[in-house]
């Protein structure tokens, strides 16, 4: 959540992930993904800075999450990075491996 100020001085906390669009017209108008609009006192640059700081904070804190003792038989969660694709020849669409000796799947 990011903290913003409405034009009447009221402070609001807004889920930054729900912002679809932000416009300066000259007031900063936020449009959420559900169509709700908010007019806030912060400039567009201030808004962007707060969103960047919010996301950077989440990433920084995620590396400091303590591990929890696992119950017997459980498997801890971990990030799995998929292997690089094999350097096999591909069909004309560029996404499917073609068998050796195949001439691009064209009938002769």
Whether residue 29 contacts residue 22, with contact meaning beta carbons closer than 8 Å, is answered with: yes
Percent of the chain with pLDDT over 70: 69
Whether residue 67 contacts residue 61, with contact meaning beta carbons closer than 8 Å, is answered with: no
pLDDT band at 3 (very low <50, low <70, confident <90, very high): very high
Whether residue 38 contacts residue 12, with contact meaning beta carbons closer than 8 Å, is answered with: yes
**pTM exceeds 0.75, yes or no:** no
pLDDT confidence of residue 108: 45
Mean pLDDT over residues 69-98, rounded?
Answer: 66
pLDDT digits (tens, 9 = 90+) for 24-72: 999 999 999 999 999 999 999 999 999 999 999 988 888 776 666 666 7
Enumerate the β-bridge partners of residue 29. Answer: 23, 39
Whether residue 28 contacts residue 42, with contact meaning beta carbons closer than 8 Å, is answered with: yes
């Amino acid at each position: 959540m990011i903290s913003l100020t409405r034009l009447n001085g009221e402070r609001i906390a807004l889920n930054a992930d729900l912002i679809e669009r932000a416009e300066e017209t000259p007031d900063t108008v936020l449009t959420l993904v559900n169509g709700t609009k908010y007019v806030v006192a912060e400039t567009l640059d201030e808004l962007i800075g707060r969103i960047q700081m919010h996301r950077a904070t989440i990433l920084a804190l995620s590396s400091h999450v303590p591990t929890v003792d696992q119950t017997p038989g459980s498997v801890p969660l971990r990030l799995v990075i998929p292997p690089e694709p094999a350097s096999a020849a591909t069909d004309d669409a560029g996404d499917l491996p073609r068998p050796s000796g195949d001439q691009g799947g064209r009938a002769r």
